[in-house]
Amino acid sequence: MQVGTGKSILNGIAIGKLKLYHAPKYEISEAEIEDIESETARFEQAIQKAIDQQNVLYEKALETAGEDSAAIFEVHGMMLEDEDLQDAVRDIISGQKKTAEYAVREAFDEQAEVFAQMDDAYMKERSADVRDIKQAVLDVLFGVDPDSMQGSEPAILVAEDLAPSETVRLDKSLLLGMITREGSSNSHTAILARSMNLPAIIQCKEIDDSWEGHLGIIDGYHSKVYVDPDEKLLAELTAKMQEDEKKRLLLQELKGQENVTKDGTKIKIYANIGGPSDLGMVQENDAGGVGLFRSEFVYLNSKDYPSEEAQFAAYRQAVETLAPKQVVIRTCDIGADKMVEYMDLGDEDNPALGFRAIRIGLSRKDFFKTQLRALLRASAFGNLAIMFPMIISKWELEEAKKLLEECREELVKEGVAVGEYQVGIMIETPAAVLCADELAQICDFFSIGTNDLTQYTLAIDRQNAKLEPFLDTHHPAVLKAIQMTVEAGHRHGIWVGICGELGADMTLTETFLRMGVDELSVNPKSILPIRKVVRELDLGSGS
């Protein structure tokens, strides 16, 4: 028996044959060509086909992993449409008289290197995206079918690494789990694996070609890989896998049940979503509502500023579909790790501390008012709450509310219906925590964004893989900041929720209940497991 170690992406067990995947390596000719026009035409056809493929992958990812995960393929499509990148390929074909394959390799590698040399961790990771789309164009030029990588029988896939496009193409009915030598827990591929509920181990350095066809086990609970396990271990982990499946089926029986502890303490459990395409997952997992609708995906999935009508249609669909359940829509949180070219935000040395979220809204009021009008119009069709991100001071909240009121008055004068709505803010910085008493007096709710709150409290860039060993999401300072926020909110009679990743951390569910947290908003697949934890707690007895 061989044993490999790595980092687990998802707690779970997978057992089956190991299937090794090697990305195709192409021999690209460096010889000069004569027919420049024909070679350019080959490139034009290939780039268009690659763009079409990204659109197909986007739709497939929507179906299997949700809008948050699918957004990367929208970005890939935009990268492929970039005129500067395309012109660089054309220039190599015509200026150096090289093949389309050679020109794609050179131009895309140069662009990838530009990203790789950037200081910002998020932009640095974009180099992997450029290499992914380069592979897509080369696959087309060489006539390779990327869907043939998996084989025809269920297996655990083993690879050096997997690009997001490769992960989404996989036939889930044949995929038992994934093992890679490289990768990070924050990569797009890791996020997709979690979204598809696949046991996966990354950074497993023991991977070897000799594993092909052998029986393998992924033990996600202990971050282990076993090749040719002995009978005792196989029996133990098979039993664990069967136990997990029984638990999954039992969770279905919790649909329609209250989120209430044995001693009668209640909490709301809502869903985080990226857009209307995730509404089915909200309903399927019996969420009490939506605690975080990330409206920035409306912007990320658009090639230009989305119109008021386009936004209204998206917001109305969400609130109308789920009515009378509450839908909390966060206003545009573009910036930092989420950028769109048409907004022309410029380069920043430290974008996480830069021009982002509410700062853009208050600086570009026409842009902001377009979104606010769309939100207010949607409020007539359901139970809407509007949430402002990255608020750090009272004047920002007052200014945002003033703009909202201006929009409401405009719509009323135009004879447009506006419904009832709540106004709240995200608590994401130590500044917001420390002035929470002031802020609570002029809004209806707080939602704690633990991802950024952790980042800013600990002074750790959450996009920087090098800092993972230092990132303690349970740090006493973070938990104290959450407690302070809850207490401040309750002092002024408003409800307080959590919409960051910690909301789904079931080791903290009891802690949050004891703090008095009113609502947890999590990825839809975590709703029933958290409900189970809540219903098994007895806060009165201390267990």
The answer for residues whose C-beta is within 8 angstroms of residue 99's C-beta and 6 or more apart is 28, 29, 31, 33, 39, 93
From the list 41, 16, 14, the residue with the least C-alpha distance to 99 is 41
Which domains does the chain possess?
A: 2-23+148-251 (3.50.30.10), 36-143 (1.10.274.10), 253-536 (3.20.20.60)
Containing H/E element for 133? helix 121-142
Cis peptide bond N-terminal to 324, omega within 30: yes
Residues 467 and 449 sit within 8 Å (Cβ to Cβ): no
Q: How many angstroms separate the Cα of 361 from the Cα of each of 308, 372, 390?
A: 15, 10, 11
C-beta atoms surrounding 116 within 10 Å: 15
- Kindly list the catalytic residues: 188, 499
**pLDDT 10s per residue in the chain (543 long)?**
899 999 888 788 999 999 998 777 788 998 999 899 999 999 999 999 999 988 888 888 877 667 767 778 888 988 999 999 999 999 999 999 999 999 999 999 999 998 888 766 667 777 888 988 998 999 899 988 766 666 778 999 998 888 777 777 777 778 899 999 988 776 666 776 777 778 999 999 999 989 999 999 999 999 999 999 999 999 999 999 998 888 878 788 888 999 999 999 999 999 998 888 788 888 888 999 999 998 887 777 667 788 899 889 999 999 999 999 999 999 988 765 555 666 666 666 666 677 677 888 888 888 899 999 999 999 999 999 999 999 999 999 999 999 999 999 999 999 999 999 999 999 999 999 999 999 999 999 999 999 889 999 999 887 676 787 888 889 999 999 999 999 999 999 999 999 988 999 999 999 999 999 999 999 888 899 999 999 999 988 655
Write out pLDDT tens, residues 311-354: 899 999 999 999 999 999 999 887 655 556 666 666 666 666 77
From residue 200, how far is each of 81, 85, 156, 477 by CA, in Å? 32, 34, 9, 31
Instruction: Read off the tokens for 468.
Output: 């993972």
pLDDT digits (tens, 9 = 90+) for 162-178: 877 777 777 777 889 99
Contact, 370 vs 308, CB < 8 A? yes
CA angle 273, 279, 282 (to 5 degrees): 75
Whats the size of the chain, residue-wise?
Answer: 543
What pLDDT is recorded for position 166? 76
**Encoding tokens for residue 493?**
């009679």
